Amino acid sequence: MKFTESEIVELKSSTSELKEAIVSLSAMLNKHSKGAVYFGINDAGNVLGQQIGKSTLKDISKAISDCIEPKVYPDIQTKKIQGKDCIVVKVSGHDAVYSARGRYYLRIGEEDKKLSVDELRRLVEKKNNYAYSWGSELSDFSLSKVSVTTVKKFVEKGRKAGRIEYAYDSAR
């Protein structure tokens, strides 16, 4: 089986390329909300294998959680591929813009493109749907037309779903 890079897969010869892999993971998260890096497979798709010490997986996990913001917690596994030890790192995350060491990237094909300020602003707007926010719309109804019972039920549903952190106090 020949491996190829894509918008959600990055190949690295070894963990000596961990810095670059972290950039790729953040770029994939920003584009597709998920991504994977294979250590022990070169860019041409040839399986080379990866030396795995007793702290290798822990070191990868720590580097990822230290360098990508907001925090992501990777799924890291060792895997025998064509009889050779490799490491597969998978990440997923939604509704945020991710940085690698304070810089923002987007996966374009097999490349990680550093975002300009304007591109970053557009990505934030897209990810957070700021372009149109129903919460900023003014209502034609006065407060006296709002059903206290409906508001109370709405707040309680939001609390149960973990989307609202405060208890219902009053409609005023």
pLDDT tens digits for range 52-69: 999 999 999 999 999 999
The answer to whether position 146 is within a domain reads: no
Mean pLDDT of 131-159: 72
Mean pLDDT of 108-136: 80
The CATH number covering residue 19 comes to 3.30.950.30
d(CA 141, CA 145): 6
Residue 131: predicted pLDDT = 45
The answer to whether position 153 is within a domain reads: no
**According to DSSP H, which parts of 33-147 are helical?**
56-67, 117-128
pLDDT tens digits for range 82-120: 999 999 999 999 867 999 999 999 999 999 999 999 999
Domain of 77, in residue numbers: 9-128
The answer to whether position 143 is within a domain reads: no
Q: Is the pTM of this model over 0.95?
A: no
| Burial category of 29 from C-beta neighbours within 10 Å (exposed 0-12, middle 13-18, buried 19 and up) | buried
